[in-house]
């Protein structure tokens, strides 16, 4: 019998890791990709965590952009 797959995302670690990347490359811009419902973790949740750290957010469709805009 197969066991269901599970992925857990530590939002604090996500922010921390992005901060480290920015310190290592301070002149670089960050575009956070939150398409496909944040790769299954919730696009709005991920976008809210990254919006103050990322220079831009990227999505794959107009519908995803509207979802983030309206959240």
Summarised one tens digit per residue, pLDDT across range 9-18 is 898 998 999 9
Q: State the total domains in the chain.
A: 1
Domain for residue 23, yes or no? no
pLDDT at 1 over 80: no
Contact 32, 50 (CB under 8 A): yes
Binned at pLDDT 50, 70 and 90, residue 39 comes out as confident
Domain for residue 33, yes or no? yes
Task: Write out the H or E segment, with its range, that includes residue 2.
Answer: none
Which tokens sit at 5?
Answer: 């797959």
Domain for residue 49, yes or no? yes
Residue 58 three-state SS? strand
What's the whole-number average pLDDT of the chain? 91
pLDDT at 2 over 90: no
Closest by CA to 14, choosing from 37, 57, 46, is 46
Domain that holds residue 34: 29-71
């Amino acid at each position: 019998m197969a066991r269901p797959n599970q992925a857990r995302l530590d939002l604090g670690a996500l922010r921390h890791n992005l901060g480290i990347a920015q310190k290592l490359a301070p002149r670089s811009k960050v575009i956070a990709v939150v398409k496909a419902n944040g790769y299954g973790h919730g696009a709005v949740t991920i976008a809210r965590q990254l919006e103050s750290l990322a220079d831009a957010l990227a999505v794959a469709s107009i519908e995803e952009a509207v979802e983030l805009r309206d959240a």
